[in-house]
Chains A and B, each alone.
Chain A
Amino acid sequence: MSGVILLILILGLGIIAWASTRMRALGFRRRSSTRVSSLPHHHGWYVALWTAVPPMIFLAIWSATSPALVTDMVLHVPAAVQLPAPGFERAAILSEARALAAGRAHGAFHALSRTLAPAYDRAQTRIDWIATAIVLLLALAGGAYAYLRVKPGFSARTRIERVVLGLLLAASLIAILTTAGIVASLLYEAGRFFSVVPITDFLFGTHWSPQVIDPRDPGASLGAVPLFWGTFFIGAVIAMAVAIPFGLMSAIYLTQYAAPRVRRIMKPVLEVLAGIPTVVYGYFAALTVAPAVRQFAVAIGIDWASSESALAAGLVMGVMIIPFVSSMADDSLAAVPSSMRDGSLAMGATPSETITRVMLPAALPGVVGGVLLAVSRAIGETMIVVMAASGVATLTANPFASTTTVTRQIVDLLTGEAEFDSPKTLAAFALGLTLFVITLLLNIVALSVVKRYRESYE
Chain B
Amino acid sequence: MNRPPSSADRWGSPAMARRLRRRYAAERRFRRIGAAAVALSAAFLAFLLITMIAQGFRGFTETRVALPIDLAAAELPIEPARLKGRGADLALAGAGLEDAVDRAATNAFGSDGIDLLSPGAWIVVRDAVKADPSLLRRTTDFSLPVASVYDVAAKGEGMPEAERVVARLRARGLVSTGWNIGFLRDADATDPTRVGIWGAAKGSLLTMLVTLALAFPIGVLAALYLEEYAPKNRWTDMIEVSINNLAAVPSIIFGLLGLAVFLGSFGLPRSAPLVGGLTLALMTMPVIVIAGRNAIKAVPPSIRDAALAVGASRVQVIFHHVLPLALPGILTGTIIGMARALGETAPLLMIGMRAFIAAPPHGLTDPATVLPVQIFLWSDQVDRGFVEKTSAAIIVLLVFLLAMNGLAIYLRNRFETRW
Contacts and interface: CB of A to CB of B under 8 A. Distances in A.
Q: Say whether A associates with B.
A: yes
B226 interface: yes
B154 interface: no
Interface residues of A, number: 85
A330 interface: no
B189 interface: no
B413 to A, nearest CB: 13
B379 A175 contact: no
A260 to B, nearest CB: 14
B153 interface: no
Nearest to A418: B352
A280 B375 contact: yes
B52 A280 contact: yes
Interface of A: 157, 160-161, 164-165, 167-169, 171-176, 178-179, 181-182, 185-186, 188-189, 245-246, 248-250, 252-254, 256-258, 266, 269-270, 272-273, 275-284, 286-288, 319, 322, 350-353, 355-356, 373, 376-377, 379-383, 386-387, 407, 410-411, 414-415, 418, 420, 428-429, 432, 435-436, 439-440, 443, 447
For A245, A253, A415, the residue with the greatest tally of chain B CB atoms inside 10 Å of its CB is: A253
5 contacts: A167-B221, A185-B256, A266-B38, A279-B343, A429-B260
Interface of B: 23-24, 26-27, 30-31, 33-38, 40-42, 44-45, 48, 51-52, 217-219, 221-222, 224-226, 229-230, 238-239, 242-246, 248-254, 256-257, 259-261, 264, 282, 285-286, 289, 313-315, 339-340, 342-346, 349-350, 352, 354, 372-373, 375-376, 379, 387, 390-391, 394, 397-398, 401, 405
A256 B37 CA distance: 14
Contacts of A161: 313-315
Given A168-B221, A381-B250, A250 B256 contact: no
Contact of B376 (A176, A186, A279): A279
A414 B225 contact: no
For A168, A181, A288, A381, the residue with the greatest tally of chain B CB atoms inside 10 Å of its CB is: A168
A64 to B, nearest CB: 11
A429 B256 contact: yes
A172 B245 contact: no
A439 B250 contact: yes
Contact of A272 (B35, B45, B352): B45
A108 B148 CA distance: 44
A157 B313 CA distance: 9
State the main secondary structure of chain A at its contact with B.
Answer: helix
B326 to A, nearest CB: 14
Given A376-B248, A439-B250, A182 B257 contact: yes
Contacts of B24: 350
For B24, B242, B343, B349, the residue with the greatest tally of chain A CB atoms inside 10 Å of its CB is: B242
A172 B41 contact: no
Contact of B398 (A188, A276, A353): A276
Contacts of A189: 260
B48 A175 contact: no
Contacts of A439: 248-250
A277 to B, nearest CB: 3
A185 B390 CA distance: 35
Nearest to B259: A414
Contacts, number: 241
Contacts of A181: 257, 261
A277 B34 contact: no
A7 to B, nearest CB: 16
Given A269-B42, A443-B245, 13 more contacts: A168-B222, A171-B221, A174-B222, A178-B242, A182-B256, A246-B37, A280-B52, A286-B379, A288-B51, A350-B23, A352-B30, A356-B30, A407-B252
Nearest to A265: B42
A373 B344 contact: no
Contact of B48 (A252, A284, A351, A380): A284
A249 B41 CA distance: 11
B345 A278 contact: yes
A176 to B, nearest CB: 5
B256 A428 contact: yes
A432 B252 contact: yes
Contacts of A373: 248
B161 to A, nearest CB: 24
B52 A175 contact: no
Contacts of B405: 275
Nearest to A382: B346
Given A380-B252, A429-B256, A175 B42 contact: no
A272 B42 CA distance: 9
Nearest to A170: B221
Contacts of B375: 279-280, 283
A450 to B, nearest CB: 12
Given A161-B315, A168-B225, A277 B345 contact: yes
A433 to B, nearest CB: 9
